[in-house]
Amino acid sequence: MALRVVLLCSTATLAWSVVQKKPHVLLILADDYGWSNIGAHVREASDEGDAESPMQQLRKEIHTPNMDAMVDEGILLERHYAYKICSPSRSSLQSGRLAVHVNMENVGVTVTNPADPVNGYAGIPRNMTGLAQKLHSAGYKTHMVGKWDAGMATPEHTPLGRGYDSWVGYFQHANDYWRKSMPLQATGEIDNCLNKFTDLFMHNATYRGGVKDGISLSPKCLKDPESDIECYEEHLFKTRAIEVIKEHDTSNSDSPLFLFYAFHLLHTPLQVPQAYLRKIDEMAAWM
């Protein structure tokens, strides 16, 4: 299946071109990833002419061939008015509104204003339409993988409430890449369940509350996670994303795929499989 790939790193807005046929869309959001850490960005930046300039040095250091290839084949978002912290920026992306009009704080799910049933919760106000809802109304099959962090106080705030047909990820700011949870109050929250790896679709499609314990996409995750790369959370997200793409029915051109893939990487905690570190060591030898 041909995909229109949209790569969003930390700052971006897109002017969509009008096309006759609805494209399949893969929207990628990388967490805490620097603008100049993508080869496609530094190669297009203005050349200062000095061989020792910071931009020239970046061109020597940044090697992102896979992301560069996606940029060449898809669309690179270059303007997005990101807020200084995570949740407001994600709420802005999902709602299509500036963060100041949506969500200004990363407050916990228990912080509510009973007098305001629409805006009195953390996350996107309940009366706002989400990106997936708009695409769903246009005939798209909408799926999400990864970090949400745009509200979870009520069913309407969850990815399913915002128009996604399925979601595998975690609700809040961060969690442990191996154990899929986080110590109590490690991210300023009072309920560590919000940081657990959650499945709102795969294990029980009729239960919208999610599966909180033992969730995995591989039976190997029941073993020691420290030694099994298939238990690494980002690997699980990748596995699920590939599964969504492969399972999509391409026979119906009126029902294309929209997949929002929100990485946990590079957000804390900074945990990396040994296999990844060995690759970096190999790169360092020829850089």
At 24, the pLDDT band (50, 70, 90 cuts) reads very high
**What's the rounded mean pLDDT across residues 131-155?**
93
Higher per-residue pLDDT: 248 or 181: 248
- Comparing C-alpha atoms, which of 141, 166, 165 is closest to residue 1? 141
Report domain extents, the chain: 128-286
pLDDT of res. 110: 73
pLDDT of res. 152: 83
Question: How would CATH label the architecture of 128-286?
Answer: 3-Layer(aba) Sandwich (3.40)
Higher per-residue pLDDT: 167 or 48: 167
**What's the rounded mean pLDDT across residues 250-276?**
89
Distance CA(188)–CA(185), nearest Å, equals: 5
Residue type, 115: A
**What's the rounded mean pLDDT across residues 225-242?**
81
Higher per-residue pLDDT: 10 or 257: 257
Higher per-residue pLDDT: 187 or 123: 123
183 HSE (CA, 13 A, CB side) = 2
Higher per-residue pLDDT: 42 or 256: 256
CB 6 within 8 A of CB 27: yes
**What's the rounded mean pLDDT across residues 171-178?**
82
Lowest-confidence segment of 50-54, 148-152, 263-267 by average pLDDT? 50-54
| DSSP element (H, E) containing 90 | helix 86-95
pLDDT of res. 11: 39
Q: How does pLDDT run across 88-97, given as a tens digit for each residue?
A: 889 999 999 9
pLDDT of res. 202: 54
Name the average pLDDT for the chain: 77
Lowest-confidence segment of 61-70, 223-232, 245-254 by average pLDDT? 223-232
pTM over the 0.85 mark: no
Distance CA(285)–CA(73), nearest Å, equals: 30
Q: How does pLDDT run across 42-90, given as a tens digit for each residue?
A: 877 666 556 677 777 778 888 889 989 988 888 877 777 778 888 888 9
Distance CA(73)–CA(246), nearest Å, equals: 19
